[in-house]
Amino acid sequence: MAVLRITALAGGIGGSRFLRGLLRAAPDAEVTVIGNTADDITLHGLHVSPDLDTVMYTLGGGIEESQGWGRAGETFAVAEELAAYGAEAQWFTLGDRDLATHLVRTRMLAAGYPLSAVTEALCDRWQPGVRLLPMTDDRVETHVVVTAGDDDESADAAGDARERAIHFQEWWVRLHAEVPARRIVLVGADRAKPAPGVLDAIAGADVILLPPSNPVVSIGPILAVPGIRDAVRGAAAPAIGVSPIIGGSPVRGMADAALTAIGVPTTAAGVAELFADLLDGWLVDTVDAGATAAVEAAGVRCVAVPLWMTDVDAAAAMARAALDLAEEVRAR
Amino acid sequence: MAVLRITALAGGIGGSRFLRGLLRAAPDAEVTVIGNTADDITLHGLHVSPDLDTVMYTLGGGIEESQGWGRAGETFAVAEELAAYGAEAQWFTLGDRDLATHLVRTRMLAAGYPLSAVTEALCDRWQPGVRLLPMTDDRVETHVVVTAGDDDESADAAGDARERAIHFQEWWVRLHAEVPARRIVLVGADRAKPAPGVLDAIAGADVILLPPSNPVVSIGPILAVPGIRDAVRGAAAPAIGVSPIIGGSPVRGMADAALTAIGVPTTAAGVAELFADLLDGWLVDTVDAGATAAVEAAGVRCVAVPLWMTDVDAAAAMARAALDLAEEVRAR
């Protein structure tokens, strides 16, 4: 039998943990991961790609397991010094080990390499066991529109409701997504092109997976790059998604705040509806078994299985369920 | 009495230790330091200014005392990671704490600030007790011309004597100055302009000091910036130098290799001759007392005092001797 070609879209922590399970569930598969880069941010002159790095570190064995992001055995000497210099953006702490990745990336970008080539070079070291592609080599940045004054940096004397757009990382990391988001804007997405290999990986896949990543700020930006959503919708392969919402709450992170910003209910069915145009199957947690009917009414085959990624085995079981669901919908 | 205005030219370790003695010897003086920037190098995309930083860290209390350069309590997590990525120039190890300085510098330079403004901003934190000026805001780089094949990176199959110019740091740090230097070239020096404040600091000084820095690659490049040598020569203030050579050997570093490259004998008198056009006084070590006559024959008042900077008190005594010599030649 031919090698199973799996293409997955992925954000950071949830996506990476699912992918680690996938590699255990399907060790012989050829996996391509299309990573979200709309979280990317320039800090201290360095190009930081949090989601790509989380995938790379998690699958390459370099992740800090306890938090799911950043490097194991991390130290913070540089960050302490930057603080002593009064440098910007101290709310986003770069670890020393992690920073080396950004130095290499920034240097290669400055030398003219596209992010896809840089990512490939970084993965040369990490050997993540997947082909990791950024969704685009172009600059796309998720910005969050908040009401000026809601965040402490732009208090508005007049008290009116003027808007202010801040980088997603500032909203997420500095403000803990506690400031209501009026809108989420994907700056540059309309002009971005899929990175080399992205559309081919979708068109050539046997299975397309949407891991339990944040639907709004991880999967959303990937699908917003012109051509990618159409490619998934038009692909021969079934597209199977895994709900990042269990029992009305995000498995981790603050997906509810992001969903509220785009007017989507924080439910397994609500998220499925976001992607209904391209999904063939959707996994919800057993506590959300009652939602399967609504999802199926939208034309998406829906199965309830345990979705807590308590360890790699649990993630592998989820991945297996996703692959089984792909088989099932393919057979129909 | 008015505040004593002292302007010193300085390289790295020797200059910094002398300056620390100077601040103890003349705590009320207004000291301006013109620092060598021809050792500057771009590593991993970061602008490193080794001599400016050594002055700043030494006078600001951040230096690693045992080696005379780099940060106290330094760690090397970033360097380890860069090595794991196979990054360039692993022969030049950047410490984590030190690296933060280069990040701040690089970011400010990229934002358009000249090196002099960046240096002032960095000194805001370190409060070195002197005004530290780079010799120039322009790019000047000391390159060393070696015979191709002498260094291991350019073995020459034909065995002929072709030349290869390498950055000073590569010669100094990677090759330990063990490969013979045919010539030393100050790339960019002819087009460089003194940084703002440099010429005024020289013209307005009561005393000009040349600490025991490397005469070829530290003091030499400063004087090679068009206008600086003339300003020192034409200044009303006496110019007093301190020999970096004691008993025919450099006090530290590999000044002999650099002196040989420019055909100057590694002696206290030999170095004095290099600067005879601008010196009014020259301090040699007591072991070189026999050389004073030769130096005086060149029109430079020469005094022998202990020149080993074994501690800050010893450096302060040397600085006091230099200031006394300035008084003496001024009175003549």
pLDDT, tens only, B245-262:
999 888 777 778 888 888
β-partners of residue A186 are A142
Interface test with B, best of A57, A81, A106 (most B CBs within 10 A): A81
Which chain B residues have a beta carbon less than 8 Å from that of A80? Answer: 97, 100
How distant is the Cα of A66 from the closest Cα of chain B, in angstroms? Answer: 20
Closest-CA residue of B relative to A107 is B45
- Other C-beta atoms closer than 10 Å to the C-beta of A139 total 16
Which residues contact residue A164 at a Cβ distance below 8 angstroms, ignoring those fewer than 6 apart? A145, A146, A147, A148, A151, A154
- Answer left, alpha or beta for residue B44, where phi above 0 means left and psi between -120 and 50 means alpha: left
- Which pair of structure tokens corresponds to residue A141? 């940045």
Interface test with B, best of A102, A103, A124, A125 (most B CBs within 10 A): A103
Q: For residue B248, what pLDDT is reported?
A: 84
Task: Please give the Cα distance from A234 to B152 (Å, whole number).
Answer: 56
A64 near B CB under 8 A: no
Alpha helices in chain A (DSSP H): 13-25, 50-60, 77-84, 96-110, 115-126, 168-169, 198-203, 220-224, 228-234, 255-261, 268-274, 292-297, 312-331
Interface test with A, best of B78, B94, B123, B124 (most A CBs within 10 A): B78
Q: Rounded to an integer, what is the distance from CA B67 to the centroid of its chain?
A: 16
Task: Please give the Cα distance from B314 to B320 (Å, whole number).
Answer: 10
Inter-chain residue contact A77 with B82, CB threshold 8 Å:
no
A153 pLDDT band, cuts 50/70/90, is low
Measured in degrees and rounded to the nearest 5, phi and psi for residue B304 equal -105, 125
Q: For residue A162, what pLDDT is reported?
A: 85
Task: Please give the Cα distance from B326 to A270 (Å, whole number).
Answer: 83
CA distances in angstroms from A317 to A18, A224, A248, B137, listed in the order given: 10, 30, 22, 61
Which chain B residues have a beta carbon less than 8 Å from that of A87? Answer: 100, 103-104
| Overall size of chain A counted in residues | 332
A122 near B CB under 8 A: yes
B41 near A CB under 8 A: no
Interface test with A, best of B44, B53, B107 (most A CBs within 10 A): B107
How distant is the Cα of B86 from the closest Cα of chain A, in angstroms? Answer: 9
B134 pLDDT band, cuts 50/70/90, is very high
Which chain B residues have a beta carbon less than 8 Å from that of A96? Answer: 75, 77-78, 81, 96
Task: Please give the Cα distance from A163 to A183 (Å, whole number).
Answer: 10
Q: In the predicted model, is pLDDT for residue A89 greater than 90?
A: no
- Other C-beta atoms closer than 10 Å to the C-beta of A183 total 13
Q: For residue A303, what pLDDT is reported?
A: 97
Among residues A217, A231, A147, which one has the least CA distance to residue A189?
A: A217
Q: DSSP secondary-structure letter at B291?
A: G
- Which pair of structure tokens corresponds to residue B40? 């500057």
Minimum-distance CB partner of A44 among B103, B122, B125: B103
Q: For residue B159, what pLDDT is reported?
A: 52
Q: For residue B160, what pLDDT is reported?
A: 54
Which residues contact residue B231 at a Cβ distance below 8 angstroms, ignoring those fewer than 6 apart? B194, B198, B199, B202, B203
Q: For residue A102, what pLDDT is reported?
A: 98
Task: Please give the Cα distance from A173 to A12 (Å, whole number).
Answer: 14
How distant is the Cα of B101 from the closest Cα of chain A, in angstroms? Answer: 8
Report, as an integer, the average pLDDT of B223-239.
97
Task: Please give the Cα distance from A94 to A98 (Å, whole number).
Answer: 7
Inter-chain residue contact B45 with A97, CB threshold 8 Å:
no
Report, as an integer, the average pLDDT of B271-299.
95
β-partners of residue A146 are A164
CA distances in angstroms from A69 to A16, A30, A318, B57, B281, listed in the order given: 10, 24, 21, 34, 62
B103 near A CB under 8 A: yes
Predicted-complex ipTM score: 0.90
B299 pLDDT band, cuts 50/70/90, is very high
Q: In the predicted model, is pLDDT for residue A35 greater than 60?
A: yes
Q: In the predicted model, is pLDDT for residue A164 greater than 80?
A: yes
Report which of residues B161 and B125 the model is more confident about: B125
CA distances in angstroms from A64 to A15, A67, A200, B88, B169, listed in the order given: 15, 6, 32, 27, 36
Q: For residue A105, what pLDDT is reported?
A: 98
Q: In the predicted model, is pLDDT for residue B125 greater than 90?
A: yes
B177 pLDDT band, cuts 50/70/90, is confident
Inter-chain residue contact B104 with A125, CB threshold 8 Å:
no
Q: For residue A256, what pLDDT is reported?
A: 83
Q: For residue A254, what pLDDT is reported?
A: 78
Task: Please give the Cα distance from B151 to B137 (Å, whole number).
Answer: 31
Q: In the predicted model, is pLDDT for residue A249 greater than 90?
A: no
Domain map (residue ranges) of chain A: 5-136+191-331, 141-187
**Do residues B219 and B210 lie in contact, with contact meaning Cβ atoms separated by under 8 Å?**
yes
CATH T-level fold of A5-136+191-331:
Rossmann fold (3.40.50)
Which chain A residues have a beta carbon less than 8 Å from that of B48? Answer: none
Q: In the predicted model, is pLDDT for residue B166 greater than 80?
A: yes
Report, as an integer, the average pLDDT of A17-34.
98
Which residues contact residue A189 at a Cβ distance below 8 angstroms, ignoring those fewer than 6 apart? A38, A140, A221, A224, A225, A226
Q: In the predicted model, is pLDDT for residue B118 greater than 90?
A: yes
pTM, 2 dp: 0.92
Q: Please write the tens of the pLDDT for every residue from A263-321.
A: 889 999 999 999 999 999 999 999 999 999 999 999 999 999 999 999 999 999 999 99
B154 pLDDT band, cuts 50/70/90, is low
Report, as an integer, the average pLDDT of B192-213.
98
By three-state DSSP, how is residue B69 classified?
coil
